[in-house]
Amino acid sequence: MADWQEISGGVTAPRGYQAAGITAGLKPSGLPDLALIWSDVEAIAAGVFTTSQVKAACVDYCRQRLQAKHSARAILCNAGQANASTGMQGMHDAVESAEILARELNISPESILLASTGVIGQRIKMDALRGGIPQLVAALSQTGSDAAAKAIVTTDLVTKSIALETTIGDRPVRIGGIAKGSGMIHPNMATMLAFVTCDAAVSSHLWQQMLSRAADQSFNSITVDGDTSTNDSLIALANGQSRTPAITEIGPEAEKLQAMLTAVCQHLAKAIARDGEGATCLIEVQVTGAHDQASARQIAKTIVGSSLVKSAIFGRDPNWGRIAAAAGRAGVPFEQDNLQIKLGDFLLLENGQPVSFNRAAATAYLKQTAADSSVYHDHLPGQRIDNPVIITVKVGNGHGSGKAWGCDLSYDYVKINAEYTT
């Protein structure tokens, strides 16, 4: 049993946070496009960002801010323009965005972190942003998480939100999060953004370590289409407003907080994978028997990222050969005679050799799982990310295990991306 419970409220569930989301005129669609997360006090800040050599201005901006100062009070996110590959003017726009918000909030620009999402090569529509920021600040609310979650999406079909609560030192501690992402998802820590708030008191060094570990087991373990974005950002704040003793070193309280942070990130990551562009089902690959966890995760991510595997799942085809081939090219040594593959409860390969299985029943499993998860797009927060297609792979007798999540590859994915800017 998890040592926490799910609660409502998203990023405003933890104490001392407000959020807002408005329509500022950044998106041609006229949908909400400007979001703000605000801490009542200075909060410890940590971030994990894209490893792409082509980075958005907001990524460079945040890295510079976090290197100079391990705290922040606000996260500003615009949707519609990625502000990536926009040169020095793009960075000037990012800096000006922070300065405008700082004046409106009466704080230092150094206490503001930025994120952007949208079309690469397009600068932020600064006139719209300048006019929108006063409205955004005025809209801040302790119940504003849903509005913020709506304002950060692009091709997403649904918003992604979660909040959990546990007890540390006889006091409640909460972590909340919102995220966006649907296509261009293959994080090395796509276009994916995630913002996490926490009301525990944590040292800056430990909070960054916790976030990096959580990212490895969540956002860095999902893939939709194999494309890492210019804007990938995971930003987390911890403001200490739970009034619990500060967590400064590894121990039972730190481990509990780490587990809950990881659970929040995994929920958001799986929600992104399930909402992959054109997807009909979530896929979870579980790998055991590897030399170490990193090797297991690498195999799992290679399998779930295989276009052939993804296409087979969309076609409801229990084609274990594609799974075996993907495992074999993951760059992780193992003896093929030890390879075992299961689809749901169906054993397909044992000791590197095919076994007889009921193909019709395996196909029915794939069809039923996709049908059961189709209600995902009908309501929130009841996302059906708890019912993925399960692929289980064993590669040996090592202690390393890992998971990765993705989605199937449908005809609609090509249509959505072929027409993205046209």
Any idea which residues carry the catalytic annotation? 191
Q: Which residues contact 336 (CB under 8 A, 6 or more apart)?
A: 324, 328, 352
Contact 48, 208 (CB under 8 A): no
Phi-psi region of 104 (alpha: psi -120 to 50; beta: other; left: phi over 0): alpha
Q: Rounded to whole angstroms, how far apart are CA atoms 15 and 9?
A: 11
Burial 299-319, CB ≥16 within 10 A → b, else e: bbbbbbbbeebbebbbebebb
- In sequence order, the β-bridge partners of residue 403 are 286
Q: Is the dihedral of CA 371, 373, 374, 375 positive or negative?
A: positive
User: From CA 224, how far away is CA 204, in angstroms rounded?
Assistant: 32
Sign of the torsion formed by the C-alpha atoms of 120, 123, 124 and 125 = negative
The Cα-based distances of 104 to 97, 98, 99, 130, 195 in angstroms read 11, 10, 9, 11, 22
| Cis preceding-peptide flag for 381 (omega within 30 of 0) | yes
